[in-house]
Structure 1
Amino acid sequence: MGKHGKCSHDAEACYPPAPGGDMYPYMMESPQIRWAFIRKVYVIVLLQLLLTVAVAAAVNHVAAIGAFFRSRTLASLGAWIAVVLAPFVVMIPMICLRKRHPINLVLLTLFTICMSFSVGLSCLTAKGVIVLEAAAMTLVVVVGLTAYTFWAAKRGHDFEFLGPFLVAASLILIVFLVMRMLFPMGKTGTLVYGCIAALIFSGFIIYDTDNLIKRFSYDEYIVAAIELYLDIINLFQAILSVLEAIDG
């Protein structure tokens, strides 16, 4: 009983130090603890993605929801603004309370629902086949980049150096997005923006997966899950915008 109680408060007490720590050279603790953490994060991300698919499908297939958001009324405009702002509003307490169980999971679920509505609205004007193509391409890219990062980490490669470059690229992307909103650039602008965004968020997938393997502490599973989830969602939306621009 005492041992189980200790495990519930201290994850390291649940696993004895194990040989083979050089399997991933930059791991800060035993492989058992790190792999348990990695599995936990990927389960959370998978559940987030399934919830996103369900909510986005409801937005696109429930006629009343689609008709409401397509209508150019004051109420629909307010709803659009609320959908855009809601994830940012929820993210603040979610980050502050990320280590407070179970409120962290409740806020994570609420954040995922808010993001899911945003994804659903981005798919509202796209053809169904384009959405499926974007989802399939996103899956292939995510699986490929994740496998590559684990392979590279096992051989001692480190991707921490990508951090400053990705931050700078994100700032440039935000500036480009604002310019695109103020001065519509047409299909070409959308295509360029989508390609740049896809490259940036592909880099984030490598960077955040590398952090998942080596740097996040065991109780930072909420932050790790949020980062990977947002990388995947943003990559999907970037690919979707590229395919829409090509489709014309």
Structure 2
Amino acid sequence: MWNQPFGKTDLERGGGARPLYPMMLESPELRWSFIRKVYIIIAFQLLATIAVGAVVVSVHPIALFFAGTGAGLALYIVLIFVPFITLCPLYYYYQKHPVNYLLLGIFTVSLAFVVGLTCAFTSGKVILESVILTTVVVVALTLYTFWAARRGHDFNFLGPFLFGAVLVLMVFAFIQILFPLGKLSVMIYGCLASIIFCGYIIYDTDNLIKRYSYDEYIWASVSLYLDVINLFLSLLSIFRAAES
């Protein structure tokens, strides 16, 4: 019954788009336009990450500089923190074009360097396996979330659980750094992280469909991009530990 009044409104306006979820009050055309914009931004972010990562992996002097020199190690530590530092001005300027895109570019490229350096000393087989599995999982979970949202399912309840799970994951990583527990613990950490970020893909996609405002396309892109990258790195750690 919820879609009948909306259908009459669509006929009067000359549009025929179906609502994305029950009791949808906004225009489906506007929401679909917002969703397309977010996924286009994410596509460019992933392409930039692949390009930068490929350069870092294929040009060996770059990886050797970061791994074998003190200046490279210091620069690597800086690159790790740059994405998080960039999020602060991005929070303030996320509605101001073109500053928001410039900051998003800095965030993406710096994170791409970190991903590339992580892959630099990993076999091509492990990287390919991680890329394929990440792609399959992301596409499957995205399609599932759109399907579930249309049938009235809501995943907003996952927020507190995922936040708590990330805190546990951070403590686990800190313990692993101080007291390395071996290959098995790395695989356990990777499995837990993969499950958590699968949950985040569903949660952030559900927010993209229902809760993000039209001005928050930058934040929506950052959230989903981070979910994909973290899932890839988690799967990479599992395959790398299994191979060693």
Tell me if both proteins adopt one fold, taking TM over 0.5 as the criterion: yes
Rounded Cα–Cα distance in structure 2 between residues aligned with 1:26 and 1:112: 36
Query: What is aligned with 2:40?
Result: 43
Rounded Cα–Cα distance in structure 2 between residues aligned with 1:53 and 1:241: 18
Rounded Cα–Cα distance in structure 2 between residues aligned with 1:56 and 1:20: 39
Answer whether contact 1:21 1:27 (CA < 8 A) is retained: no
1:223 aligns with 2:222: no
Query: What is aligned with 2:54?
Result: 57
What do residues 207-238 of structure 1 show as CA deviations (whole Å, max 9, x unaligned)? 00000000101110000000000000000000
Report the residue type matching 2:54 in the other structure: A
Q: Paired residues, what number?
A: 232
> Post-superposition shift, 1:27?
3.8
SS of the residue 2:31 aligns to: helix
In structure 2, stretches of 5+ residues that fail to align are 1-12
- Structure 1 ranges of 4+ moved more than 3 A: 16-23
Rounded Cα–Cα distance in structure 2 between residues aligned with 1:17 and 1:134: 45
Rounded Cα–Cα distance in structure 1 between residues aligned with 2:227 and 2:23: 23
Rounded Cα–Cα distance in structure 1 between residues aligned with 2:181 and 2:211: 40
> Post-superposition shift, 1:135?
0.4
Query: What is aligned with 1:104?
Result: 100
- The match for 1:181 among 173, 177, 183 is 177
> Post-superposition shift, 1:24?
1.7
Equivalence map 1:167-178=2 (5 Å):
167-178=163-174
> Post-superposition shift, 1:76?
1.7
- The match for 1:241 among 226, 232, 237 is 237
1:93 aligns with 2:93: no
Query: What is aligned with 1:70?
Result: 67
In structure 1, stretches of 5+ residues that fail to align are 1-15
Rounded Cα–Cα distance in structure 2 between residues aligned with 1:18 and 1:169: 43
Q: Give the TM-score of the pair, scaled to structure 2.
A: 0.92
Rounded Cα–Cα distance in structure 2 between residues aligned with 1:81 and 1:23: 43
Q: CA RMSD, aligned part only?
A: 1.4
Query: What is aligned with 1:31?
Result: 28
Report the residue type matching 1:48 in the other structure: Q
Answer whether contact 2:67 2:73 (CA < 8 A) is retained: no
Rounded Cα–Cα distance in structure 1 between residues aligned with 2:43 and 2:25: 25
